[in-house]
């Protein structure tokens, strides 16, 4: 009795979900008169002017001023740059503002400008975390571009040197060289030499009880399937030891 009822419910709810998600509101939500009123009240106070100059070292001002704007606290107040790179943002009431120069080509650091109700100005570094910290900057503002914007990532290019200097390749190539070259240099048929080499090998492997990785693997895969679980854990441990060896 319960089940069919439940299924029906589920189906219904599938539709409800869809119905409500597509429901979209057509009510006009616009900032009402409240904001405007607040602004009006401020407008009665004195208005001030933020002045300064922007410099892009080594570039003629004519080449970049037409794309630049001075933004005071976002787009709350906007100024434009004169042909000599200086600027003035008019009609700014007292308060504290972040002034930034935006151009698509060059990067300028923003500056915080404080204006008292009497019109005294000061400029300081922008610090959004410690907002009251004061590190003075010159006023009228002198903003120097810190270089062009970097918009692009560098493509990874492929070169022989990069390839050869890759640690993985080095690790592969060196043992290969040893394997190929060593038998030619040293006469392996000499029994004395063979003994010596065995000794040195033992020196390299200080822990004779530790199972050899390759041996372990062969044992694993040739062995019964039931031990596969143990195998996975041991292989991971062997990897660990290998990496440990490498790191040393």
Partner 1 sequence: MGKLILLSLKFAILFFTVEAVFEDQVGKFDWRQQYVGKVRFSHFDTHVQSSKKVLLATENNVFAAVNTRTGELGWRHVDKTGPEGNIDAFLQYGQDAVLVIGNGRLLRSWDINVGGLNWEVVLDSGSFQSACLVGQQNTVKQVAVLKKAAISLHYLSNGHQKWIENLPDSETVDYQTVYSGGNGEVYVLGVVPHSHITVVAYSVEDGEIIKQYLVEAPWLSNLQVSCTVVSQGVLTCIDSATVSLYTLDLHAQSQMTQMPLQTLGLELAPGFHPTLVSSQPNPSHPPLSEFLLQLGPDHYLLLQLNNGHVVTLRDLKPAMLVTFVTTGDKTVAAVMSPKNRTACSVNLFSVETGRRLLDTTLIFNIDPNGGKPEKLFVQAFLKKDDSVGYRVMVQTEDHTLTFLQQPGRVIWTREEALSDVVTMEMVDLPLTGTQAELEGEFGKKADGLMSMVLKRLSSQFVLLQAWISHLWKLFYDARKPRSQVKNEVTIENLSRDEFNLQKMMVMVTASGKLFGIDSNTGSILWRHNLDNIPANAAFKLMVQRTTAHFPHPPQCTLLIKDKDTGLATLHVFNPIFGKKSHITPPALTQPILQSLILPLMDQDYAKVLLLVDDQYKVSAFPSTKNVLQQLQEMASSIFFFLIDSSQGRLSGYRLRTDLSTELIWEVIVPPEVQRIVSVKGKRPNEHVHSQGRVMGDRSVLYKYLNPNLLAVVTESTDTHQERSFIAILLIDGVTGRIFHEAVQRKARGPVHVVHSENWVVYEYWSTKSRRNEFSVIELYEGMELYNSTVFSSLDRPHAPQVLQQSYIFPSSISTMEATLTEKGITSRHLLIGLSSGGILSLPKMFLDPRRPEIVSEQIREENLIPYAPELLIRTEWFINYNQTVSRVRGIYTAPSGLESTCLVVAYGLDIYQTRVYPSKQFDVLKDDYDYMLISSVLFALFFATMISKRLAEVKLLNRAWR
Binders of partner 1 among 124-183, rule CB under 8 A? 126, 128-129, 131, 149-153, 155-156, 158
Judged by beta carbon, residue 146 or residue 227, the one nearer partner 1 is 146
From 45, 46, 78, 237, residue interacting with partner 1 (rule: CB under 8 A): 78
Least distance (Å) from partner 1 to the CB of residue 122? Answer: 15
Instruction: Name the one residue in this structure whose structure tokens are 């923003």.
Output: 110
Integer Rg of the chain from CA: 37
Least distance (Å) from partner 1 to the CB of residue 31? Answer: 7
**Distance (Å, whole) CA 110 – CA 197:** 68
From 2, 26, 192, 229, residue interacting with partner 1 (rule: CB under 8 A): 26
Judged by beta carbon, residue 60 or residue 225, the one nearer partner 1 is 60
Dig out the tokens for 153 from the structure: 């990532």
**Among candidates 178, 226, 222, 246, which has minimal Cα distance to 238?**
246
Q: Which residues pair with 50 in a beta bridge?
A: 89
Report the SS3 class of residue 70: strand
From 24, 57, 118, 225, residue interacting with partner 1 (rule: CB under 8 A): 24
Least distance (Å) from partner 1 to the CB of residue 168? Answer: 15
Please check whether residue 126 is in contact with residue 72, taking contact to mean a CB–CB distance below 8 angstroms. no
Least distance (Å) from partner 1 to the CB of residue 24? Answer: 6
What is the CB neighbour count within 10 angstroms for residue 107?
14
From 50, 54, 71, 143, residue interacting with partner 1 (rule: CB under 8 A): 71
Judged by beta carbon, residue 67 or residue 142, the one nearer partner 1 is 67
Helix axes 213-222, 228-247, angle to 10 degrees: 170
Q: Which residues in 196-225 contact partner 1 (CB under 8 A)?
A: none
From 3, 4, 5, 31, residue interacting with partner 1 (rule: CB under 8 A): 31
Judged by beta carbon, residue 21 or residue 200, the one nearer partner 1 is 21
Dig out the tokens for 118 from the structure: 């009497």
**Among candidates 104, 36, 24, which has minimal Cα distance to 64?**
104
């Amino acid at each position: 009795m319960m089940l069919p009822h439940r299924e029906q419910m589920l189906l219904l709810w599938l539709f409800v979900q869809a119905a409500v998600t597509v429901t979209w509101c057509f009510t006009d939500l616009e900032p009402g008169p409240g904001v405007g009123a607040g602004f009006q009240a401020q407008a009665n106070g004195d208005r001030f002017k933020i002045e300064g100059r922007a410099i892009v070292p080594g570039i003629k001002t004519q080449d970049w001023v037409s794309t630049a704007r001075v933004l005071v606290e976002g787009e709350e107040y906007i100024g434009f740059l004169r042909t000599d790179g200086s600027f003035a943002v008019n009609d700014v009431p007292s308060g504290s503002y972040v002034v930034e120069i935006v151009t698509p080509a060059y990067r300028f650091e923003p500056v915080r400008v404080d204006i008292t109700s009497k019109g005294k100005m000061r400029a300081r570094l922008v610090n959004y975390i410690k907002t009251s910290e004061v590190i003075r900057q010159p006023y009228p503002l002198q903003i120097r571009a810190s270089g062009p914007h970097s918009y692009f990532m560098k493509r990874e290019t492929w070169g022989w040197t990069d390839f050869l200097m890759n640690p993985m390749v080095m690790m592969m190539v060196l043992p290969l060289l040893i394997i190929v070259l060593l038998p030619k240099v040293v006469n392996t048929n000499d029994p004395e030499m063979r003994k010596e080499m065995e000794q040195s090998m033992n020196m390299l492997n200080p822990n004779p009880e530790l199972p050899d990785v390759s041996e372990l693997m062969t044992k694993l895969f040739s062995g019964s399937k039931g031990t596969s679980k143990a195998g996975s854990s041991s292989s991971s441990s062997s990897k660990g030891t290998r990496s440990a060896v490498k790191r040393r």
